[in-house]
Amino acid sequence: MAKMKVVVLGAENDSLAYERAEMKGLDVEFVQAKPKSDGEAMEIVRDADAVMLRGDWGREPIINATTKCQVMAVYSHGFNHVDVESLNDKGIILTNGSGMCAEEVSNQAVTFILALNRQVVQSTNNMRKGIWDRASYLPIEAIDEQVLGQIGFGNIGRQVVRKMSGWRMKTLVYDPYIPPWIIKEHNVEQVFDLDELCSRADYVSVVVPLNDETHHMIGEAQFKKMKKSAFYVNVCRGPVHDEKALIKALQEKWIRGAGLDVFEKEPVDPKNPLLQMENVITAPHIAGTSTRSAWLSRQRAAQQVAAVLRGEWPTGAQNPIVASKIKGRERSKGRSPAAAPGLK
């Protein structure tokens, strides 16, 4: 009988090739389950040493049902569907798939910025209708003379800035948790007031995790601060902005347009005004999707669990407060995410 049990909630009849590869050498039994109720999930995780989440199973009753769980892992960057306070109370480490789609999400933000600048979607839609009206897309500003306002300067935010630097944009960054040497390294200007960034930027790009601090951090006050010629881009989570305020800002022309990969409620209502506006381009929350991120998310999640089960502190831990509740662990050295031959 295996010493440790790893439960993968939301998986069924899956080979778990990446998970097994990353935990090779550990005495682990994998259990896959697609529970139909919280009660069923509670029974499945009760004696688990680790729980890996594919879906919305990180709720308080399920967490509290565990008796010896050391780590709960999500396969995505975002973990707003997990009750972090309950994990903290139980002393369970939360890990995410940090790094699994930084290139993809930043590419989506860059794509939105360039498409909005050149009015690509609007011109395509009009030409399909037989409309040849060049004047309707003006003005088209020289993007190398414009200012990017990046809210959130973590892995993804830095990639957005790195890529847009190729278009020689001046960049402002708002992120109160970033140390000054990171700002200097990336040759950007740090601002400490969100309203200042909004008032100075021609493109406001937001890439932050969704939590109590960031919920509706962009609202009516911020949209009113923006230039009437400014564009707003969100590729992280819909509730980071106040959607009603965004709709009002676009309808009343406080800002010029928006690029949105995410919405407050998903799937988005087809009658949502944001889907009907000519000055808004959208995508169905696919910024992080690619053939690479599909397998890398599994590898990253499994790496984090393996580190914890080896007695290490995982590189992707998202609730460091629990460190005071558990025995000392060496920090995981991690390894290159490319080291997964034959599994792609």
Which residue among the candidates 186, 237, 241, 298 is catalytic per the annotation? 237
Which residue among the candidates 40, 145, 189, 266 is catalytic per the annotation? 266
DSSP letter assigned to residue 148: E
8 A C-beta contact, residue 30 and residue 19: yes
Phi-psi domain of 211 (left: phi exceeds 0; alpha: psi -120 through 50; beta: other) = beta
Annotated catalytic, 19?
A: no
Annotated catalytic, 285?
A: yes
Distance CA(235)–CA(10), nearest Å, equals 25
Which residue among the candidates 285, 292, 310, 329 is catalytic per the annotation? 285
Distance CA(224)–CA(314), nearest Å, equals 42
**Residue 157 — φ and ψ, nearest 5°?**
-60, -40
Provide the CA 164 distance to its chain's centre, in angstroms: 19
Annotated catalytic, 237?
A: yes
8 A C-beta contact, residue 77 and residue 101: yes
3-state class (DSSP) for residue 72:
strand
Could you give the residue numbers annotated as active site?
237, 266, 285
